[in-house]
Structure formats: structure tokens, C-alpha cells
Amino acid sequence: TDQLHDCRTSANDLLLSLKTGIHLCQEQQNTTKTNLMNHIDRLHTDLMESRKEGALKAERLSRYVDDRVSKIDANLKQKYRKIEESLASLVKKLEMSNQAHQETHNDILRAVEEKWEDITKRLLHMQEGHSASITLERRHTDTMLQSINEAMNQVQESLHQRLDDYTRQFDANINSLRLALLHGHHQLPPPSQADEQPGDASPVFITETHVAYPDTDPHLRREPPSDGQGEAEQEPVSAERSVDEHDTLWHVRGSIKVRENRDGQAYVTMPARPPPSEDDQDESYGQDDEWQQEEQQQRQQQEEEDEGDFDDRQDDERELAAMMVSDVLRLGDHGGDNAPEYDAEEFEDAGDLSGDGLDNDDADPPPPAADNEAA
């Protein structure tokens, strides 16, 4: 009701303001119209006065012109007689000067023709020299342009190749992590309640997982596991020990406890912890891969001038891939209830990295929430 009252009040105020504005516009229009009519009247009066003055001035001018013409006519008649007398002598002098001028003109024409031929020869010589230099510069420019295009094509092909290698290795990493989590979850039985201590999180199966890292870090590259290799490389654990796990690529840190239950089967417990923030990931990435970033910056200074947008997109895709892998690892750490929900646009962006990406239908599905809670 208050809102309706406020709306009505606002509408009334707006209507009153519109009426006031219309009234002011009408008054301004009337004032402008009155001023315009007064100005038109003044202009009409001034025009009539100027016409009268123009008529008077024209009459005076015509009288003055007639007087001056009569005087000039009389003077011209007298001067005409004098001119006729001097004309005969001038004709004789003119004939003599024409002869001298004709001789000078002929001499000048001959000199001009000689100079013109000399200038024409020089211009032709200069034109030939300029044409040769222009042709040489054009060939040099075409050669440089072709070399620049070839270099740009090589750089572009190298960037596309690196991106394709990165996407393939990233897909292999995701599939290997999924297979490790799924195989470990389905194959190891849970420990007994007597062996499980309060405060520990859900046990996680340990399998030696070989992760294929990108080509940008040669010290961290390993080949992905083949089919069945994860099950054959399980290491039995006989004593309680603590292992500090540090994944350099994805920055997954945590204290993992390895225990042995009554049946002699090994299992792993990991304390529940919140997912790492983006600031922690960026700080750890800067500390662990500082030398790698410096090398990449020195190598990509020239490439960033022409492929800046491509490099920015590649960096965004790497950060998105790191976040998605961290979420996959947290899915194994915290169970189905804490499984992150991905946005469809993020999956589409990640799927653009390669042909399948994470949308591959042949890949094994993630473990159900009930199985994760029972593990």
C-alpha cells in the first residue's frame, strides 16, 4: 500500500512537473514569437529606408557620371589628335623594335631547345636510376615480408602445437586421476571401526599415479600409466608412517597417514581440510615455479607482441584447469556431499582445449556419493 501510495504521489508530482514544463514552454514560445515579429518589423522598416537612400544615391551617381563623361569626351578628342600625330613616329620605332625582338626571340628559342634536351637526358638518367633503386627496394621488401610471414606462421604453429600438447596431457592427467580414485575406491575394503581413530577423515586408497606434466616443466614430466598399471604398482604398507604429499603442478598439500588394519590391509586417512584458495594457489605457484616463469617470460617477449590475446586465453585456461583438478582431488578427499558443482560454461571452455576434454563419454563416471561416504 505504501509503495502504491508512493507511486501515485510520484506520478502526480511528475504530472505537475510536466504541466509546469508545458506552461513554461508555451510562455517561452509566445515570448520568442513576439520578439521575432518585432524583429521582422524592424527589418522591414530598415529595408524600406535603405531602398529610399539607394534610390537617391543612384540618381546622384547618374548625374555625376553624365557630367564626368562629357568632360572626358572633350578631353579625349583633344588627346586623340595628339595621339594621331605621334602615332606615325611610334610605328616607325615599333618596326625597328620588332626586328630586334625577332632576332632575340630566335636566339632564346635555340638556347631553350638546347637546355631542354640536356634536362631531358638528365631526367631520363635519374628516372632509370630511381627505377632500379625502387625495384631493388621492392625486392628487398618482398623478401623481408615473406620471411616475416614465415616466422609468424612458424610461431603460430608452435603455439598451436604447444596448446594441443598441453590439452592432451591435461586430459591424460584428469583421466589418470579419475581412474586412480575410482579403482582405489572400489578395490580396497574399508578398515574396521577399532582401527579407525576419531578425528581422521574418510580413508583414501593409495596408488602410485604417474601424472604427465606439460612440456613447459621438463623436471616434472612423467609418462601416464597404461591399462592395469595402477593395480600392479600398489605398495603394501606394514607400519604407521606419515607422508607429506606435495603436488608441484596442482599445489595439493596435506598430511596423509598410512595405517594397517587387523587383516593386514593398508588404508590411508587424510584430515578434512577446506579447499585451497586462489591466493594460496597463486602464491605457491609463484614460489615453486619462479624459475619457469622467468624463462617463459624471456622466451615469449616477442611472441606476446603478436599473440597477446592468445597467451591471455591460454593462461586463463591453465588456471581453470588447475581449479578443476583441485576440485576433482577434493571430490576424493571429502566425499560425494562436498563434491563441487561445475558450471556448464566452464566445462564448455575446458572442452574447447581439445576434442573431448572432460566431456568424453568413454571416460569412467565419478564414484557415487554413497560409495564415497561408505569408504
pLDDT digits (tens, 9 = 90+) for 79-113: 888 888 888 888 888 889 888 999 999 999 999 99
Domain ranges of the chain: 162-374
Question: Coil, strand, or helix at residue 215?
Answer: coil
Give one DSSP letter per residue of 276-333, joined into a string: PPHHHHHHHHHHHSHHHHHHHHHHSHHHHHHSHHHHHHHHHHHHHHHHHHHHHHHHHH
pLDDT number for residue 283? 52
Question: Coil, strand, or helix at residue 260?
Answer: strand
pLDDT number for residue 231? 42
Stated pTM of the model = 0.23
Which portions of the chain are predicted below pLDDT 70? 184-292, 294-296, 298-299, 302-314, 317, 320-321, 324-375
Contact by Cβ (8 Å): 257, 240 = yes
pLDDT number for residue 108? 92
CA distance 264 to 191: 10
pLDDT number for residue 194? 43
CA distance 337 to 190: 19
CA distance 101 to 106: 9
pLDDT number for residue 22? 87
Could you tell me the CA-to-CA distances from 336 to 57, 324, 328, 330, 347 in Å, in that order? 108, 16, 11, 10, 19
CA distance 29 to 41: 18
pLDDT digits (tens, 9 = 90+) for 18-53: 888 888 888 888 888 888 988 888 888 888 888 888
Question: Coil, strand, or helix at residue 39?
Answer: helix
pLDDT number for residue 292? 66
CA distance 137 to 139: 5
Residue 115 phi/psi, 5° resolution? -65, -40
Q: Exposed, middle or buried by CB within 10 Å (0-12, 13-18, 19+), for 347? A: middle
pLDDT number for residue 149? 87
